[in-house]
Structure 1
Amino acid sequence: MSKSIAVRYKNFIRKWKTFVFCGMMFFLKTHLILASGEPFPIGAKSWGIGNATTAIADRNSIFSNPAGLGFLKENFVSTSYHARYTIAGLQTLSLSGNYNTKFTNIGLGIERFGDKLYNEQKLGLAIGKNMNRVSLGLKVSYFQAAIENFASKNTLLTEFGVMTKLSSKLQMGFHAYNLTGAKLFASQHIPTVLRLGLSFTPSKQILLVAEAEKDIELPTLIKAGLEYQIVKHFYLRTGLTSKLNNAHFGFGFHSKQFIFDYALSSHSALGFSNHLSISYQIGKSNAQ
């Protein structure tokens, strides 16, 4: 009799766990919370200008377009914190750095999303090679997603990028995410995303950016942003994203070798998100 009760108890626990898991997955997918390996933009500067960063070579290129590493003359160490919609468990933390050598520029980026219930980790190694006016970039990331006391899955993600200087004021960038079609679960594809963008600096004080983003299973997304250096070392930013009804605002401050960036983004249905980044510029490279 006791064995029968034990078996029933185990079956009940197994069914309950399955029910909770399925309900959680449905809830997360319905509210677009489960990231599923999608390329989440890293860096408060990126969020300040609407995440139109494919054609920008800066401290966040390790996340936005590895080709940008090839144009960097400085070495950076950066960390970012993203709190989405003020909902517990939707925070993203990142740490990154780049190092320039005589042959190629190297970048390392770490990301963590979620909490104990559901979390994602991503560790990526990228290289960027500058060939005069053109730079090529490649990134390979180890990606892991885990659900507490239920499952843990991992895979490799690949990214490829190109960035070219069309003139002294105009740059073009292309970035492809997950071209190999990696999967996390058998029934759950990681998005393949293609991005094409432009950056234009009509003066030292103004940066204009625009970008088209295409998830192969979703409509094309158009993004645009503006950065204005209002006074020396202080920048104001804004940006817009089509279809998602997103608005972006932010500012940046450079203090000697430290760089502070903050951005606030809004979603018409989900509310506000806060983004904070701190970077340290190690110095200029003598390799280039």
Structure 2
Amino acid sequence: MYRFSILLILFLGISLSAQAQDGNFNSGARSLGMAHANTTLSDEWAMFNNIAGIAGQSQYSAVAGIENRYGISSFTSMSAGFLAPSKIGNFGISAFRFGDNLFNQSKIGLGYAHEIGLFKLGVQVNYLQYSIETLGSKGLLAVEVGGIAQITPELFFGAHIFNINQAVLSPETGERLPTLMKAGLSYRPGDKITLSVETWKDIEYPASLRAGLEYKILDKLPIRTGIATAPFHQYFGLGFAPKNFRIDYALSNTSRNLGLSHSFSVSYLLNR
């Protein structure tokens, strides 16, 4: 078990560095195209980014996405989820997997969010599993909470904490699953523009600042861009929304010349 713990910590360090502290399990090409400045975004992908954002969504939604980092097959993540609105609030179930047969991490989450006036609040319980070939698997529970508040008709504030319970990866070493805190503002002067600025803080790493912009050239054709610090990344993306579908693509690059990262995601909104 001790050997597993040491190797798990090593692989976690590699994977977190490769993901450039992108926030553990943040997903969706819309979010990536805006530098994952997603804490105030309310959409069906919020079950991966800030669970509070699924509150107020009025349609059943199914989502799926894939992201590859730096052209390395081992750094590929896949995600899928389903959002169900109800009279007592909205429920979301999500699944995520990153890695290959040598090392992989997976997550299944069950979340709930409710809208009360100008506030949206949400909580999600996640079961995570880390696997290393020949050494077995380690499973644990992590809880996340989030909130979004409408300050004015144009200004929104969001906050989110992943792993608020500080789940322990290795009792032998005391190593804990990373805890990520996010908070930010978004300014929406109209239906066409969303500007988001926020800060991320992993307890073990320096704070990261993120800024993202979404502009709708047409109602169903948004373009996106964003930047992030620590380390510096640039992001670009676009979307298309024919009928009940939302299709998004995003790419990012890094000053460390590791190569491009690509993300593709699709949402299907069912009429109630």
Judge same fold: TM > 0.5, yes or no.
Answer: yes
Q: Map Cα deviations across residues 44-82 of structure 1 (whole Å, 9 max, x no partner).
A: 000000100101111111011111111222221100101
Deviates more, 1:31-40 or 1:119-128: 31-40
With over 3 angstroms needed to count, the CA separation of the structure-2 counterparts of 1:22 and 1:194, relative to structure 1, is closer
With over 3 angstroms needed to count, the CA separation of the structure-2 counterparts of 1:34 and 1:189, relative to structure 1, is farther
1:194 and 2:181 are equivalent in the alignment: yes
Tell me what 2:266 maps to: 278
Determine the C-alpha separation between the residues in 2 that align with 1:119 and 1:180: 22
Tell me what 1:9 maps to: none
Match of 1:42 among 8, 11, 27: 27
Determine the C-alpha separation between the residues in 2 that align with 1:185 and 1:36: 21
Q: Percent identity at matched positions?
A: 34
Determine the C-alpha separation between the residues in 2 that align with 1:250 and 1:33: 20
Tell me what 1:15 maps to: none
Match of 2:240 among 245, 250, 253: 253
Q: Map Cα deviations across residues 126-148 of structure 1 (whole Å, 9 max, x no partner).
A: 00011111111000000000011
Match of 1:203 among 190, 211, 216: 190
Tell me what 2:91 maps to: 106
Q: Note the C-alpha offset of 1:21.
A: 10
Alignment-mate amino acid for residue 191 of structure 2: K
Q: Note the C-alpha offset of 1:30.
A: 5.2
Alignment-mate amino acid for residue 264 of structure 2: L
1:88 and 2:76 are equivalent in the alignment: no
Determine the C-alpha separation between the residues in 2 that align with 1:199 and 1:141: 27
Structure 1 residues 207-286: aligned runs within 5 Å? 207-269=194-256, 270-283=258-271
Alignment-mate amino acid for residue 160 of structure 2: H
1:131 and 2:119 are equivalent in the alignment: no
Determine the C-alpha separation between the residues in 2 that align with 1:34 and 1:236: 23
Q: Note the C-alpha offset of 1:121.
A: 1.2
Q: Is the 8 A contact 2:206 2:230 kept in 1?
A: no
Q: Is the 8 A contact 2:146 2:158 kept in 1?
A: yes
Q: Is the 8 A contact 2:25 2:96 kept in 1?
A: no
Q: Note the C-alpha offset of 1:38.
A: 5.8
Alignment-mate amino acid for residue 191 of structure 1: P
Q: Is the 8 A contact 2:34 2:212 kept in 1?
A: yes
Determine the C-alpha separation between the residues in 2 that align with 1:131 and 1:230: 32
Q: Map Cα deviations across residues 209-251 of structure 1 (whole Å, 9 max, x no partner).
A: 1111111222211100101111231011000001211000000
State the TM-score, normalized to the length of structure 2: 0.91
Alignment-mate amino acid for residue 78 of structure 2: L
The residue matched to 1:141 in structure 2 has which SS?
strand
Match of 1:73 among 41, 58, 82: 58
Q: Map Cα deviations across residues 184-217 of structure 1 (whole Å, 9 max, x no partner).
A: 2333321111111112111211111111111122
The residue matched to 2:43 in structure 1 has which SS?
coil
Q: Is the 8 A contact 1:236 1:252 kept in 2?
A: yes
Alignment-mate amino acid for residue 242 of structure 2: S
Q: Is the 8 A contact 2:80 2:95 kept in 1?
A: yes
With over 3 angstroms needed to count, the CA separation of the structure-2 counterparts of 1:30 and 1:137, relative to structure 1, is closer
With over 3 angstroms needed to count, the CA separation of the structure-2 counterparts of 1:154 and 1:35, relative to structure 1, is farther
- Gaps of at least 5 residues in structure 2 are none
